[in-house]
Amino acid sequence: MVTICNPHHRGHREFDISAIRKFTTMFALVVAALTVTTVSVGSPASAATASTSRANSALQSVVPGAWRNAIPNARATRLISGKSSTSAYRMGIWVSRFHAAKPAPLLRHTMAHEFGHHIAFYYGSQVVYGAAPTGFPQGVTSVETWADCVASAFSGVDKHGTNVKKHCSRAGLRWTKAWLSKGPYAHPRTNAAIHW
């Protein structure tokens, strides 16, 4: 029997760009250098207000309707503090205020990543909690890598949370895109086998 301490699969963490900006006036040169490397997506416009509705709008724009309809509870259900967004089976997506205030392309990437965990809950191989679907070329137990591939496949954004130790490879992305494009009804539901 497998037990885990935290039933919530951890979402991804990423570098706090907004914190860097707070130091702009004091360390302008350092920030300018960092900005070049960190602001690769979107523009540093005024910060958006974090909300679950903003997160769900991002989700709606990045995940195809067939997939959203297949897993209707895979949506932002609450805002949480900290910098990690989290998904749990049947509990939706808990979006960090940090992610929920991000520019739209990054928030879409985060929501697609978390939605990828929910796809795994319902269609995964169930080898471990959140395991990728059978056949995922980077290994079905590479839980974060699978979500990373789903995020890239849906959002087109090549970015990785810092907890994604093994990034989605070209082979992984190709396989994931093909798997996703078949739609939810082409794949067996496996969530009855979740026993964590």
At closest approach, how far in Å is the CB of 147 from Zn ion?
A: 4
Q: Does 55 bind Zn ion (CB under 5 A)?
A: no
Q: Which is nearer to Zn ion, 101 or 111 (CB)?
A: 111
Q: What is the closest distance, in whole angstroms, from the C-beta atom of residue 125 to Zn ion in the complex?
A: 17
* Residue placing its CB nearer to Zn ion in the complex, 14 or 144: 144
x/- track of binding to Zn ion for residues 6-25 (CB under 5 A): -----xx-------------
Q: Are 131 and 138 in contact (CB under 8 A)?
A: no
At closest approach, how far in Å is the CB of 169 from Zn ion? Answer: 17
Q: Which of residues 88, 107, 140, 147 is near Zn ion by CB under 5 A?
A: 147
Angstrom distance (rounded) from CA 133 to CA 4: 21
Q: Any contact of residue 70 with Zn ion (CB under 5 A)?
A: no
Q: Which is nearer to Zn ion, 35 or 191 (CB)?
A: 191
Q: Which residue is nearest to Zn ion (CB)?
A: 147
User: By C-beta, is 4 or 47 nearer to Zn ion?
Assistant: 4
Name the site residues for Zn ion (rule: CB under 5 A): 11-12, 144, 147
